[in-house]
Every structure is written in structure tokens, then in C-alpha cells.
Structure 1
Amino acid sequence: MKLFITGIGTEIGKTVCSAILTQYFKADYWKPVQSGDLHYTDSMKIKDWVENEITYYPEAYRLQLAASPHQSAAEEGKLIRVDDFQLPETSNPLIVEGAGGLMVPLSDQELMIDLMEKLKLPVVLVVRNYLGCINHTLLSIMALKERGLTLEYLILNGVFPTDTERVIINYIEKRTKIIRIPDVDSITKESITTIANNLKIEYNG
């Protein structure tokens, strides 16, 4: 089981969801691009939050500026190329966490979805409720279909109005499984483990 975690935008809980899935699947973890927050990277957060003894693979790019990867790389005179990424070799399950959403630019020519297409991993799409989330979710689903990427799991992160949830689920394929993750007030090893231990995967249809 190898999965690529993406989201419909930034600050919607991808790293928390990645921690929960890393715990649940007893997976290794890889963040290909860390843009900013090098003092406390997403890999460091996962190490703090996940109870399992797992392998954390080093980022292909560690960039200082907390901005879109193409801007952060340009600030350091670097050019991110999708062809430079190699999926870590492991016989364990693997959680790969992207930066931002599908259309986040890695360079002026390539986007995060280009990396996802190269790695050819099933996708986990993290959705959080806010005004506009339906639009962003459906556009993301359409983009994944257009690239021939499999939406393996849809994560509904937090509480959703029934009407919002119904429309979103109506646009995913029957093979896409649904995971509901509650709001996490305090992110600790204990809270992540509790959620992972109680995780339920729903089959759509």
C-alpha cells in the first residue's frame, strides 16, 4: 500500500491526516518537497505524532522560504524537476505527502500533479469544509480523472454540512473509499493513535 496525500488547498490538515494514515497502515513516510518551516518540518511533526517505529525518508528538496515551491526554489537559485524525484524503495506501506494542492507549481513548467502522475500512486484527497470547498473538491476530482490518477480515498476532515457532503460524495467514483476524521483539538501521539485505532473506512455505494 503506497499512497499520495494531497488536498484541495493549503492548511486543511494534510499532515495530521498523513500522521493518522501512517499510524493506521504502519507505513513509512516521505515528504518530497518541504517549503519553509525547516525548524519544524512535516517529517518532524510526523515523528512527534506517530507512535509506530517507522522510516522517514529525507526530502528531495528542503527550501527555506515558506511559499510555493517554485518561488522558494527560485529564491535559492534552484530548479525543481519532476524527473529528479525517485520513489523510496521499501517493502513497507508508504505515505507520500505533497505540498499544497494539485496545481501547486514546482517550477514555471511543472505542477504537483505532474509529480503525482510520475509516481503513479493511488491518491488520497483531503477535504475540509469552508465556503468554496465544493468547487475546489470537484475541480480536484476532475483533474485527477483527466490525468488518469486513481482517487483511492476521500478524507472528510472535520465536520461537514449534510448538503455539502452529499454533493461531494455524489461526484466520486464507487471505488473511492471514504474516511471521516474528527477535528483534533490537541495533536499528540495519544490523540493520533486513538483516531487511527478507531478509523473506519466506508465503501461508497
Structure 2
Amino acid sequence: MQSSSSTQPKRYFVTGIGTDVGKTIAAAILTQALHADYWKPVQAGSLEATDTMRVQELVSNSRSVFHPEAYRLKLPASPHLAAAQEGIDIDLNNIQLPQTQNHLIVEGAGGVMVPLNNNELVLDLISKLNLEVILVSRNYLGSINHTLTTLEVLKARNISVVGIIFNGVPNPSTEQFIKDYTQVKVLPAILEEATFTPPLVEHYAQTFRNAL
């Protein structure tokens, strides 16, 4: 597993316990915290307002580079279905890490068990890219199950998890249980905000710099 020591760039794959749990905001904050490059390998839907564009709007440092997606798909759906609608088969061999000497934040699509093609999942992409994971969790009924299941799957594949980010309205009981049960490091929380702006992202980034 790639080292995240100070002598070489930190490279993290940001995944979530499901869809719409806040991966993109978390990725923007992490990108700003490390002045890292950002890369979303597969974008499905919202091509006029991609996750890359959103992160670019929120990141205010001048060092970050935003690398183009390997696949840009029109349908807002699971990548395997979105690709099939366009007669495309997503080939993991075509998804290569961008060439950069900088830190790198990679944002996934949905959760780890989301299919990229008929045989391979986001989980397989994480393994192929040999990246450590930062897991974004959000408190809702069922989130303990989804968080623990995701961590068990990552553990079974010997994928290192750097930490968990709890995003949204805090639930101390849920968060404490997950922390105690998994013994995975809990990174700074991201709270429910009316809107995220570059200054607010920088404010959060400051809390993450020491944690990473």
C-alpha cells in the first residue's frame, strides 16, 4: 500500500457509504487542505456541472491541478448502465492515475460496490490504483450498517482506510459506536452548511491539515 509519509505525495481515494453523502464537498476540502491535485475518474451525468467543476469552484489555492475524467457519461445513473447507454464498456485499464508529483485526491462514484462494468466495481478500481481510502459517512437511519459494511469490504480487500469523515448533522451516539467498533481514525467532521464557499472550504481545510 502506498505510503503517505512526508517524503512522497499523499494520494487518497474518497469514497462514501452511498450516494449523496457529501463526497464532493469532502474532496474539495481535502484538495484545499493539501493543495492537492483532484481527479474524478468516472463522471456519470451532470456534464454541464460536473463534480470536477464544483471542486474547482471551491478550491482557492493556485497549486491544485484538475485532471480530466477518464470517462464522461451523459446518463445520471450507475456508471455501468450510463456507459452501456452510450455503447461504451468501461475498461479499468484505461483508468490510469494522472502523472503528477503533487498530492492527489481521487473521488469515486457512489459507494465501493457500485458497478463500473459487468464484472468490476469501484472497489476493483481502488485496488487497481493502489490508493488509501478516506470514507465519507452521513448520519441517517441505516448509516451504521452502511458504514460498517463498507469498512468490512475494504478490510477484506486489504485496502487501507486513512479515516472516516462524518458529514452533516452530528449524531454523537452513532459516531462513537462506529469509532469504537471499527477502531478506524475519525477525521474532522463536516457540518451541515447552508452553502459552501471557497472561504468556508478553506476554514474546514485548516482543521484537516494537521489530521492528514
Q: TM-score by structure 1 length?
A: 0.94
Match of 1:41 in 2: 50
More strand by share: 1
Q: 1:185 aligns with which of 184, 194, 200?
A: 194
Counting matched residue pairs gives: 202
Letter in 2 for 1:146: A
Q: CA deviation at 1:161?
A: 2.1
Q: CA deviation at 1:2?
A: 0.5
Q: 1:55 aligns with which of 39, 48, 65?
A: 65
Q: CA deviation at 1:178?
A: 2.4
CA RMSD of aligned residues (A): 1.5
Name the SS for the 2:188 alignment partner. strand
Letter in 2 for 1:20: I
Answering whether residue 133 of structure 2 is matched by residue 116 of structure 1, we say no
Distance 1:26 1:67 in 2: 31
Answering whether residue 201 of structure 2 is matched by residue 196 of structure 1, we say no
Q: TM-score by structure 2 length?
A: 0.91
Question: Retained in 1: the 8 A contact 2:24–2:51?
Answer: yes
- 1:9-158 aligned at under 5 Å gives the runs 9-53=18-62, 54-158=64-168
Structure 1 segments unaligned to the other structure (5+ residues): none
Q: CA deviation at 1:185?
A: 1.4
Question: Retained in 1: the 8 A contact 2:179–2:186?
Answer: no
Name the SS for the 2:187 alignment partner. strand
**After the TM superposition, which segments of 4 or more aligned residues of structure 1 sit over 4 Å from their partners?**
200-203
Distance 2:91 2:28 in 1: 27
Question: Retained in 1: the 8 A contact 2:170–2:191?
Answer: no
